[in-house]
Structure 1
Amino acid sequence: MNAIVDPNGPTLAVVPSNPVPEGARVGYFTTADKVQLRYATFPKGAGAAKGTICLVQGRTEFIEKYFETVADFQSRGFAVATFDWRGQGGSQRLIRNTRLGYVRRFDDYWEDLKAFHGSILLPDCPAPYYLVGHSMGGLASLYAGIRDRMMFERIFVSAPMVGLDRQPFGMAGMARLCGTLANLGLARLPIGRRGDKAQTEQSFAGNPLTSDLARFNRSVEVLKARPELELGAPTFRWAASAFEAMAGAATDQFPGAVRIPVLMLAAARDEIVSTAAIETLGLRMRTGRHVVIPGARHEMFVENDAIRAQVFAAFDAFITEQSA
């Protein structure tokens, strides 16, 4: 066990199939609006220092899910800093039903990232800083690239949540519908999607997340050891906030407003977010582009070895080789 933890603070879940990366430190920090978030930092591995990867997760995820990916970044000479978004993982939950995903507005995730940058990255982690985000975290990363162009050198996102397929009223219409229902008293009630079902050993077949059984079961084992990390369906308020943010990403102004170099990876078999929406945005960005990974499901960082190899080849070309 190589995690260094405050006995009075947060801890990391440890299971045999998911070893903690070398040199882990874990703690809490507090946002400007007084929300307590769990974070972890990991020093670089061998070789020349290349800076720090700031890793931000998708909805329902938690630090432990990325241990293998953290170790991959460390082996490339990067330190890694990551945290659990408000309302999920080991961070403060926001409503009484702690198993439901809730946020007042999507901009609250920007408050989390901004506080993390000021409280943890700048004082404790070596520059330069690179932002890596998945799914919901990918959308939050793109907005960060608009709001502060000096915070990160480059942004690398996996299956960013810039749109959802099969929505009857489009992103803006769904934002209005969910917002109206939330304002009518349903704000903290769940709205379900197939991809939000809890992972179990029995649910691997046909799952939309990964084709890799061992990595799928690894998350199951972590949640068995620490069930309080689990998050279920989103609420109507979360959905309204997310649809509004996705609608913003589809506007004519959004692609040109992102001035930081960006690489977006899209999964060819994604059933959670819209691959077509990622492709459309990638073609319209001035400082960004996109790559579609054949055969990949939504969670490319926990996909099979062949798909992960493609993900890290893209990462190395876009970030590792640029940081040498």
Structure 2
Amino acid sequence: MSDVLFESPGNPIPPNHFAGFFTSFDGMKLRYAVFRSGSQVPRGTIVLLPGRNEPIEKYFETVRNLNEQGLWVAAFDWRGQGGSPRLIKGRTGRRRGHARRMRDFERDLDVFLEQIVLPDTKLPFFILGHSMGALIALKAAPRLANRIERMALVAPFVGATGLGVPNWLLKIMANVATVFGFGWVQFSRDTLANRPFEGNNLTSDQLRFSRNQAIVHAQPKLGIGPPTARWIATMIDTIEEVTTMDYLRKIEVPCLVIAPANDQIVPYADLEALSRKFRAGKLLTIPGAQHEVLQERDIFREQALAAITAFIPGSDADPEQYTSA
């Protein structure tokens, strides 16, 4: 049993791993894990970048799938979530999904690549990002061309349905709160840990949904609540920057954008719009899938995994062959 990672019902820790904490640029110690493939000739290492409120544990099943394909997986918990330190002190601060600036996440990724991935894993290197993790990958991408071969971006957070208000109004509210020193305020109630499966907007797979809920029930310290005003302002500013044609032209790393057509978090229209402007990106649509594609039912999840494992090792296979008719 690991003293860094945590098991929960139906979610064992993948074998053959090492885990710990690395010290980032400002002294913050972030939790990480590297999962080795059993293959004698590894096909490379995937740097897994989870989304908001997604600890490493949520990807144990996906890690095993990738290891079976001969790929090592290196992952870490973003500052402010999972097993990494929180950004707001105090008992109530631990549940606040906070961010100070996007540059902090980019620098954490840089340090992780330099301190852990480069010296301790196998070449070549790839990125697999989901939602917020995929957005951070897009923000960092212009500087990654010499280190990362390819990136698979699953439901990248390039748009949002808002919190019951139009996005333009949400941005104004978040920016005003931040400017006046209330960046720690949350605009919604902290009910995620007790959310029922019925009516959820993340996945149509009840077993995986329940398994992911059990992770936080077994280890409450791994979970966070709704995002703060500062988090919202930071993400909206980043979305507006990386979705411009001028910015996307700077990205030379080949990217596969996996777009769940039934995404209720990131509008599918925003993912389509991204792909139209993204010279280095190829869009793969998965009809019927919701936002958490890698936590979805097998009919959707297996399409995504097949496309990722075909694209990431540098295969010339066309990911579109894995979509259902």
Using the TM superposition, give the Cα deviation of residue 162 of structure 1 relative to its aligned residue in structure 2, in angstroms: 0.8
Does 2:73 correspond to 1:80? yes
Could you say what secondary structure the match of 2:95 adopts?
A: coil
Deviations 1:151-209 (A, max 9, x none): 21000011000111356354xx754542222111211111228xx74143x61011111
Contact 1:161 1:274 in 2 (8 A): no
What amino acid sits opposite 1:131 in the alignment? I
Could you say what secondary structure the match of 1:185 adopts?
A: coil
Per mean C-alpha deviation after superposition, the further-off stretch among 98-107 and 65-74 is 98-107
Let me know the Cα RMSD of the aligned residues.
1.9
Distance 1:12 1:323 in 2: 36
How do 1:87-98 and structure 2 match up within 5 A? Answer: 87-96=80-89, 97-98=93-94
Q: Residue 184 of structure 1 is aligned with which of 180, 185, 194?
A: 180
Distance 2:167 2:129 in 1: 27
Structure 1: give runs of 5+ residues left out of the alignment: 6-10
Contact 1:265 1:293 in 2 (8 A): yes
Could you say what secondary structure the match of 2:213 adopts?
A: helix
How do 1:170-249 and structure 2 match up within 5 A? Answer: 170=168, 174-192=170-188, 197-200=191-194, 203-249=196-242
Using the TM superposition, give the Cα deviation of residue 255 of structure 1 relative to its aligned residue in structure 2, in angstroms: 1.9
Distance 1:14 1:323 in 2: 37
Contact 2:97 2:228 in 1 (8 A): yes
Q: Residue 36 of structure 2 is aligned with which of 34, 38, 43?
A: 43
What amino acid sits opposite 2:159 in the alignment? G
Q: Which residue of 2 aligns with 1:315?
A: 308
Could you say what secondary structure the match of 1:45 adopts?
A: coil
Could you say what secondary structure the match of 2:312 adopts?
A: helix
Question: Cα distance 1:197–1:266, how it changes in 2: closer, same or farther (>3 A)?
Answer: farther
Distance 2:10 2:86 in 1: 27
Deviations 1:53-87 (A, max 9, x none): 00010001100000000001100001110000000
**Equivalent residues, number:** 312
Q: Which residue of 2 aligns with 1:25?
A: 18
Distance 1:169 1:18 in 2: 36
Q: Residue 100 of structure 1 is aligned with which of 87, 96, 106?
A: 96
Q: Residue 271 of structure 1 is aligned with which of 237, 240, 264?
A: 264
Deviations 1:260-294 (A, max 9, x none): 10001111111111221111111111111111111
Contact 2:193 2:217 in 1 (8 A): no
Distance 1:176 1:226 in 2: 35
Using the TM superposition, give the Cα deviation of residue 316 of structure 1 relative to its aligned residue in structure 2, in angstroms: 2.4
Structure 2: give runs of 5+ residues left out of the alignment: 318-325
Distance 1:236 1:16 in 2: 34
Q: Residue 136 of structure 1 is aligned with which of 126, 129, 132?
A: 132
Deviations 1:133-166 (A, max 9, x none): 0000010111121133212100001100011135
How do 1:118-157 and structure 2 match up within 5 A? Answer: 118-157=114-153
Q: Residue 45 of structure 2 is aligned with which of 45, 49, 52?
A: 52
Does 2:296 correspond to 1:303? yes
Question: What is the TM-score with the length of structure 1 in the denominator?
Answer: 0.91
Distance 1:273 1:113 in 2: 23
Question: What is the TM-score with the length of structure 2 in the denominator?
Answer: 0.91
Contact 1:47 1:76 in 2 (8 A): no
What amino acid sits opposite 2:254 in the alignment? P
Distance 1:238 1:174 in 2: 12
Q: Residue 27 of structure 2 is aligned with which of 28, 34, 38?
A: 34
Q: Which residue of 1 aligns with 2:287?
A: 294
Question: Cα distance 1:23–1:312, how it changes in 2: closer, same or farther (>3 A)?
Answer: same
Could you say what secondary structure the match of 1:54 adopts?
A: strand
Distance 2:277 2:40 in 1: 37
Question: Cα distance 1:40–1:145, how it changes in 2: closer, same or farther (>3 A)?
Answer: same
